[in-house]
Amino acid sequence: TSNHLRHVESMSTLPSGAGPIPKLNALILGESLASEEDDLVLPSHDFSAQAHVSSPHKYLDMYKSSIEDPAGFWSGIASQFYWKHKWAHPVYSENLDIRKGRINIEWFKGGITNICYNCLDTIIAAGNGEKIAIYWEGNEPGVDASLTYNQLLHRVCQLANYLKDIGVRKGDAVLIYLPMLMELPIAMLACARIGAVHSVVFAGFSSESLVQRIMDCKPKIVITCNAVQRGSKTIHLKDIVDTALTHSSLSGATVDVCLTYENESALKKENTKWVEGRDTWWQDVVPKYPATCDVEWVDAEDPLFLLYTSGSTGKPKGVLHTTGGYMVYTATTFKYAFDYKQSDIYWCTADCGWITGHSYVTYGPLLNGATVVVFEGAPNYPDFGRCWDIVDKYKVSIFYTAPTLVRSLMREGDEHVTRYSRKSLRVLGSVGEPINPSAWRWFFNLVGDSRCPISDTWWQTETGGFMITPLPGAWPQKPGSATFPFFGVQPVIVDEKGAELEGECSGYLCVKGSWPGAFRTLYGDHERYETTYFSAFPGYYFSGDGCSRDKDGYHWLTGRVDDVINVSGHRIGTAEVESALVAHPHCAEAAVVGVEHEVKGQGIYAFVTLVEGVPYSDDLRKSLIMTVRKQIGAFAAPDRIHWAPGLPKTRSGKIMRRILRKIASRQLDELGDISTLADPAVVDQLIALADC
């Protein structure tokens, strides 16, 4: 059909019957699946037949047991990992109700393990030492490298021994400021091996952001490299670190050691600024250390890492994850949400500076013994076909990326995609923002040749791993919906008063109960943890996101709740209006915010980026508004269209609506902190175009 839908089995052939998990019943009650067929994208027979979870009822069986007996469910899975000593009873304990006292979550407490050991040593012990762990693809095509599991362990141990030698101990913080070199996951794993707590800071952050983080976690050592080539630009990372270390030292946090990797292709040693006594070249010291290193056995609840959120809504929060639950959760979500098999080659385009790079470049895949592609460069260098070039080169079978990348590639034309084979692809994934249905369809139809299911994974830095996600092969997808909860996750949608809404509904997305990957605190500020996440709706974890559930029980993320717009009493999610705009053939990207409106309470103000080569005109403006009227209704028609050659985005590529709201309401002196923006110049450009 026109939508390239694959029809396999009619939903009505699935068994019916009311189970104890009523919200998911639509999935097995074939007759009640209310959607038009065209909204559904069904997995192919072949895919489902080989999938870990091959049907809705298999999922429901597992899901039910995960909810009814979380301890039994998770201890069964956790037993597949290596534990020096098994955890004590109970498997978990929690207080998620602020009215009952301190918020406290613990999983597998008393269990003694090490996540690095489970990522490397156990994989090698199972006979996979010669399997490729990492394919590294440099910024320049043709520059590449790889490491087997044996080699990776060897490199990790050398660095771990070095860290121990300079006095890094269990519980000490290590700050890592590296680009996507193999040394980045190596550094994370080396910390984990010795029980040190890593804090990776995305190597696109400014020295001020670095100072903030150094002051917060007081690391013993900073691990960085001298420079990196991104696209055609050279970025002098070491200079940024130098500035940060000078400032933080003046403010009372002195870092003793700056271990610097010489990234020779970007900058030679001789041309790197150096502080004698503090700075050490990685290549001079690390290779001299022994290639084996005993692991530091840690408690499941010992901290593994500290990571700051991407800062879309304000000042980043220092999210703390511990070892055991995080390990079990990232490995399990990775396996099921991507239907991972030992023969897969996996590539996630996220940087290890973000949670996605922690859970799904490093830990989740390696815990499964996967082969991971790590890419140093930019998706538009040397041209917009780079991603597919890499997919073909390494025969990537699982490709996980963000809507911002999908939209930017979509804007450049299909020929960049179609000139590559992409035959190896079998599963696609998306994370970071709601994926607009039109972007979803392009990704599905063009990139995946209508063959590969898309796992649209909703989760957060705070949740550690996937929360709401398709299991490819298990059920039909709806473009733009993250579908159903992962095992053990109980999403609830509540109204303003915190009352749980049933059936078809829309409101605030919360989670009931805990799951192993949940964060345990905000570093150094447990009170902020409690007020930010557990106070708005007592008894639940509040995600900050809005969500609606349709007749079939599918979940649709509508954006952050601060972004919900109330037009004449209609609550409109920004995501919905944006998706309608992006469905217009000339609109590449859209960001919608609410502005004060005399009559309607709030009006809709839309920033739009156009497809390459399309000029902005009054006719186009009208046709964009028309598109929204047709797709959603007249009440959602934008009051104002603002042409935006570029949008303010965080360094992880998310649109920062907070700033757009200020521009829309012309409160230009209240733009607030724009230091987490990828390109602050975009703001001035937008202000200049405000009255076009």
**Residues annotated as catalytic (active site), given as ranges:** 562
Q: In this chain, which stretch among 52-60, 344-352, 424-432, 488-496 interacts with ligand ATP, using CB under 6 A? A: 424-432
How many Cα neighbours within 13 Å face the side chain of 380?
12
SS3 content of the chain, % helix, strand, coil (to 5): 35, 20, 40
Between residues 316 and 324, which has the closer beta carbon with respect to ligand ATP? 316
Smallest distance from ligand ATP to CB 48, Å: 22
431 binds, among ligand ATP, Mg ion, none (CB under 5 to 8 A by kind): ligand ATP
Which residue has the CB atom at the shortest distance from Mg ion?
Answer: 309
Smallest distance from ligand ATP to CB 474, Å: 17
Within a 10 A sphere around the Cβ of 457, how many other Cβ atoms?
24
Q: Could you say which residues in the range 323-382 bind ligand ATP, by CB under 6 A? A: 354-355
Place of tokens 């705070």: 462
Give the one residue of 482, 489, 522, 625 binding ligand ATP; rule: CB under 6 A.
Answer: 482
Q: Considering the rule CB under 6 A, would residue 431 count as an interface residue with ligand ATP?
A: yes
Smallest distance from ligand ATP to CB 383, Å: 28
| Distance between CA atoms of residues 195 and 300, nearest Å | 11
Q: Considering the rule CB under 6 A, would residue 313 count as an interface residue with ligand ATP?
A: yes
Between residues 416 and 555, which has the closer beta carbon with respect to ligand ATP? 555
| Distance between CA atoms of residues 358 and 330, nearest Å | 9
Between residues 536 and 689, which has the closer beta carbon with respect to ligand ATP? 536
Q: Considering the rule CB under 6 A, would residue 461 count as an interface residue with ligand ATP?
A: yes
Strands 490-494, 427-430: pairing kind: unpaired
| Distance between CA atoms of residues 624 and 690, nearest Å | 17
Q: Using CA atoms in the order 252, 256, 262, 263, what is the torsion angle rounded to 10 degrees?
A: -30
Number of residues that this document lists for the chain: 692
Q: Considering the rule CB under 6 A, would residue 312 count as an interface residue with ligand ATP?
A: yes
Give the one residue of 103, 210, 398, 557 binding ligand ATP; rule: CB under 6 A.
Answer: 557
Distances (CA, A) of 124 to 149, 152, 291, 330, 366: 7, 10, 15, 20, 11
Q: Considering the rule CB under 6 A, would residue 458 count as an interface residue with ligand ATP?
A: yes
- Which residues have C-beta within 8 Å of that of residue 501, sequence separation ≥ 6? 492, 493, 494, 495, 507, 549
Q: Considering the rule CB under 6 A, would residue 55 count as an interface residue with ligand ATP?
A: no
Q: Considering the rule CB under 6 A, would residue 479 count as an interface residue with ligand ATP?
A: no
* Total interface residues for ligand ATP by CB under 6 A: 26
Smallest distance from ligand ATP to CB 322, Å: 17
Smallest distance from Mg ion to CB 547, Å: 14
Smallest distance from ligand ATP to CB 557, Å: 4
- If phi > 0 it is left, if psi is from -120 to 50 it is alpha, else beta; for residue 647 that is beta
560 binds, among ligand ATP, Mg ion, none (CB under 5 to 8 A by kind): ligand ATP
Site string for ligand ATP, 150-189 (x = CB under 6 A): ----------------------------------------
434 binds, among Mg ion, ligand ATP, none (CB under 5 to 8 A by kind): ligand ATP
Angle between the 70-78 and 56-68 helix axes, to the nearest 10 degrees? 110
Between residues 137 and 545, which has the closer beta carbon with respect to ligand ATP? 545
How many Cα neighbours within 13 Å face the side chain of 375?
26
Q: In this chain, which stretch among 69-77, 305-313, 327-335, 586-594 interacts with ligand ATP, using CB under 6 A? A: 305-313
- Is the separation of the CB atoms in 394 and 370 below 8 Å? no
DSSP state of 75: H
Q: Could you say which residues in the range 519-548 bind ligand ATP, by CB under 6 A? A: 543-545
433 binds, among Mg ion, ligand ATP, none (CB under 5 to 8 A by kind): ligand ATP
* Residue 407, burial from CB neighbour count under 10 angstroms (0-12, 13-18, 19+): buried
Rg of the chain, C-alpha, whole Å: 24
Q: Which helix (H) or strand (E) holds 574?
A: helix 574-582
Smallest distance from ligand ATP to CB 459, Å: 6
Strands 173-177, 221-225: pairing kind: parallel
Q: Which helix (H) or strand (E) holds 159?
A: helix 149-165
Site string for ligand ATP, 645-664 (x = CB under 6 A): ---------x----------
557 binds, among ligand ATP, Mg ion, none (CB under 5 to 8 A by kind): ligand ATP
- Which residues have C-beta within 8 Å of that of residue 667, sequence separation ≥ 6? none
Written as six digits, the tokens of 76 are 């069964």
85 backbone dihedrals φ, ψ, rounded to 5°: -135, 140
- Which residues have C-beta within 8 Å of that of residue 193, sequence separation ≥ 6? 114, 116, 117, 156, 157, 160, 293, 295, 296
Between residues 114 and 650, which has the closer beta carbon with respect to Mg ion? 650
Which chain residues interact with Mg ion by CB under 5 A?
A: 309
316 binds, among Mg ion, ligand ATP, none (CB under 5 to 8 A by kind): ligand ATP
Q: Considering the rule CB under 6 A, would residue 434 count as an interface residue with ligand ATP?
A: yes
521 binds, among Mg ion, ligand ATP, none (CB under 5 to 8 A by kind): none
DSSP state of 649: B
307 backbone dihedrals φ, ψ, rounded to 5°: -145, 135
- Is the separation of the CB atoms in 596 and 665 below 8 Å? yes
Smallest distance from Mg ion to CB 617, Å: 37
Q: In this chain, which stretch among 156-164, 197-205, 458-466, 584-592 interacts with ligand ATP, using CB under 6 A? A: 458-466
Between residues 561 and 610, which has the closer beta carbon with respect to ligand ATP? 561
Within a 10 A sphere around the Cβ of 337, how many other Cβ atoms?
27
Give the one residue of 432, 437, 448, 553 binding ligand ATP; rule: CB under 6 A.
Answer: 432
Between residues 531 and 568, which has the closer beta carbon with respect to ligand ATP? 531
Q: Considering the rule CB under 6 A, would residue 407 count as an interface residue with ligand ATP?
A: no
Give the one residue of 209, 310, 490, 579 binding ligand ATP; rule: CB under 6 A.
Answer: 310
- Which residues have C-beta within 8 Å of that of residue 249, sequence separation ≥ 6? 255
Smallest distance from ligand ATP to CB 554, Å: 13
| Distance between CA atoms of residues 572 and 245, nearest Å | 46
Smallest distance from ligand ATP to CB 578, Å: 12
* Residue 663, burial from CB neighbour count under 10 angstroms (0-12, 13-18, 19+): buried
Q: Considering the rule CB under 6 A, would residue 491 count as an interface residue with ligand ATP?
A: no
Q: Which helix (H) or strand (E) holds 366?
A: helix 364-367
Smallest distance from ligand ATP to CB 654, Å: 5
Which residues of the chain form contacts with ligand ATP (CB under 6 A)?
A: 309-313, 316, 354-355, 430-434, 456-461, 482, 543-545, 557, 560, 654
